[in-house]
């Protein structure tokens, strides 16, 4: 750390704090302000001159698409070790007009937790990696988890505390390196959503630091703000520092299965039939279908389209096979397609780890779900089964890109998701949805031309899907952030009318309530990004 900053007089720091003086090196005044609050705090601040700056920034960039020389970089990275550090950062950022981007796991689909689309924006990254304590209380079936913890760390802690029975879980995502702060802030779905809903549906309390630097819990923030932070998007209402979550019961052994079918193996008809049964199955069953182009396993030098049916059942292999024989015999599920394991192990299974991977693999924060590939994702919701002709058109779109460079992921809905009202939390995608769709493109090539090719292909696929997905609005999932559907100004400056274009897609009728909450708790719009909820004052 550059120690030269420590020589500035406290009097100057106080003057800067009170009057917001700026200079050609704004981080110097920011550091002075921090030192005024805590003389040791600059040891956790990394400026661009620090030798660790680049490696620290890149360590949690999960999408190499936003790790280029052209990507706007933060002025500095701040890695708080205690809550008071965050309070100081908020106060000093406000004094010096430095925007805060909050990063817990680094999985923001558009890189907004550590970057921006505005090259001129002065911002810092508040990286929560040091705030990841987890306390599991097995008797009460609850846990407190700090926002910097990853899903993998949470699942491991739950498994470790309940290892004698292995019958507790938390209904959240399947990527172990996703941070809890962002996951729950956007909803958070996983293999238990048909049984227990989303991660955000299972939050009991929280600790949040607001724009004034105050620490709030559920009682002190009020029910409106508590409602908003559970699915209304991160970096909007305050900085979540911890969640109190409800743990849910699962069997000691669950069943995970994978069945693959190509076009030559009747994949089109099986996927088409899947739509008619998947949302009506027992709540104990979850299905995810991955559609992509692969090397043809039975014809040399040829490719085909493959549908991979991945399922989790809260019960035995025999029980699932009996159910599939009765409800979905077209799949042809067999015992050899399935493995029984603990629920925690099933996370590794769905994340693509080898079957013999130790549970400790959940603790590895360095693993990326896409490896070195760049990616872009979009999302949709299907309310009526897509006809066979519709899938045939999808196959043609997939044939336009290389093997496993583009695809669709279909996640089954129904069950508990249909029982929870749309207004229960900001996430509104409930009854009436058969499944969620993620359209995605992956590429390893560098350069703008290559990226534009894949992005244009993905946008073409998204356009093709228009007749088959939700309408008025065309719904989208907030955690699959997509700036194509609309955004605020480059620095996050909000405009109510402009924000409705994307806000109604993510939140439907809940958007207006989110705006009212934002107006009440952060009227100056201190917490903002290119898709944060704007206050009404920004419109007036």
3-state DSSP call for residue 516? helix
The secondary element (H helix, E strand) that includes residue 248 is strand 248-249
User: Residue for token digits 């620290």?
Assistant: 56
Query: Among residues 46, 156, 480, 506, which one is catalytic?
Result: 480
Q: How many C-beta neighbours within 10 Å does residue 185 have?
A: 29
Query: Chain-centre distance of CA 259, in angstroms?
Result: 27
Nearest residue to 454 via CA among 443, 465, 446: 443
Q: DSSP secondary-structure letter at 359? A: G
8 Å CB contact between 94 and 526: yes
Tokens for 96? 């010096």
Q: In b/e form, how buried is each residue of 470-499, taking b as 16+ CB within 10 angstroms? A: beebbbbbbbbbbbebbbbbebbebebebb
Separation CA 156–CA 134 (nearest Å): 10
Q: Which helix (H) or strand (E) segment is 83 a member of? A: helix 83-95
Q: What is the dihedral of CA 476, 477, 481, 482, to 10 degrees?
A: -10
User: ω into residue 473 within 30 of 0, thus cis?
Assistant: yes
Length of the chain: 540
Per-position DSSP letters for 419-438, written without gaps between them: HS-TTSSS----TT-SEEEE
| Known catalytic residue at 349 | no
Helices 26-37 and 10-19 meet at what angle, rounded to 10? 110
Residues taking part in catalysis: 480
């Amino acid at each position: 750390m550059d120690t030269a900053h420590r020589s500035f007089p406290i009097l100057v720091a106080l003057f800067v704090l009170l009057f917001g003086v700026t200079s050609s090196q704004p981080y110097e005044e920011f550091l002075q302000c921090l030192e005024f609050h805590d003389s040791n705090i600059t040891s956790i601040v990394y400026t661009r001159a620090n030798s660790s700056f680049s490696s620290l920034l890149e360590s949690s960039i999960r999408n190499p698409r936003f790790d280029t020389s052209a990507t706007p970089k933060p002025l500095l990275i701040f890695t708080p070790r205690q809550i008071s550090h965050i309070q100081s950062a908020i106060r000093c950022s406000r004094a010096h007009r430095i925007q805060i981007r909050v990063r817990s796991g680094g999985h923001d689909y558009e890189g907004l937790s550590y970057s921006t689309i505005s090259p001129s924006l002065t911002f810092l990254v508040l990286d929560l990696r040091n705030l990841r304590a987890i306390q599991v209380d097995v008797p009460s079936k609850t846990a407190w988890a700090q926002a910097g913890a990853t899903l993998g760390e949470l699942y491991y802690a739950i498994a470790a505390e309940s290892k004698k029975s292995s019958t507790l879980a938390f209904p959240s995502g399947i990527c172990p390196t996703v941070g809890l702060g962002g996951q729950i802030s956007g909803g958070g779905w996983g293999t238990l959503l048909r049984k227990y809903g989303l991660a955000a549906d299972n939050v009991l309390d929280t600790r949040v630091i607001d724009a004034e630097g105050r620490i709030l819990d559920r009682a002190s923030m009020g029910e409106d703000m508590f409602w908003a932070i559970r699915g209304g998007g991160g970096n909007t209402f305050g900085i979540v520092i911890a969640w109190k979550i409800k743990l849910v019961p699962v069997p000691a052994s669950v069943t995970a299965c994978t069945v693959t079918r190509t076009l030559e193996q009747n994949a089109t008809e099986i996927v088409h039939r899947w739509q008619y049964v998947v949302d009506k199955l027992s709540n104990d069953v979850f299905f995810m279908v991955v559609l992509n182009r692969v090397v043809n396993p039975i014809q040399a030098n040829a490719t085909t389209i493959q549908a991979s049916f991945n399922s989790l059942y809260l019960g035995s292999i025999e029980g699932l096979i009996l159910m599939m024989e009765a409800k979905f015999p077209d799949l042809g599920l067999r015992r050899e397609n399935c493995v029984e394991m603990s629920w925690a192990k099933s996370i590794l299974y769905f994340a693509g780890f080898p079957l013999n991977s130790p549970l400790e693999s959940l603790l590895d924060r360095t693993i990326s779900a896409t490896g070195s590939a760049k990616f872009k994702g979009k999302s949709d919701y299907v309310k009526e089964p897509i006809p066979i002709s519709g899938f045939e058109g999808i196959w043609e779109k997939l044939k336009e890109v290389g093997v496993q460079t583009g695809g669709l992921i279909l996640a089954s809905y129904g069950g508990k998701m249909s029982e929870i009202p749309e207004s229960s939390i900001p996430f509104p995608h409930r009854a009436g949805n058969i499944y969620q769709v993620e359209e995605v493109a992956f590429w390893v090539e560098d350069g703008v031309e290559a990226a534009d090719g894949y992005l244009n292909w993905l946008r073409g696929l998204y356009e093709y899907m228009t007749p088959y997905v939700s309408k008025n609005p065309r719904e989208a999932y907030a955690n699959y952030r997509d700036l194509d559907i609309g955004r605020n100004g480059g620095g996050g400056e909000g405009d109510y009318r402009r924000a409705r274009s994307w806000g109604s897609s993510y939140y439907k009728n809940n958007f207006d309530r989110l705006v009212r909450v934002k107006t009440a708790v952060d009227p100056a719009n201190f917490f903002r990004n290119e898709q944060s909820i704007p206050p009404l004052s920004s419109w007036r």
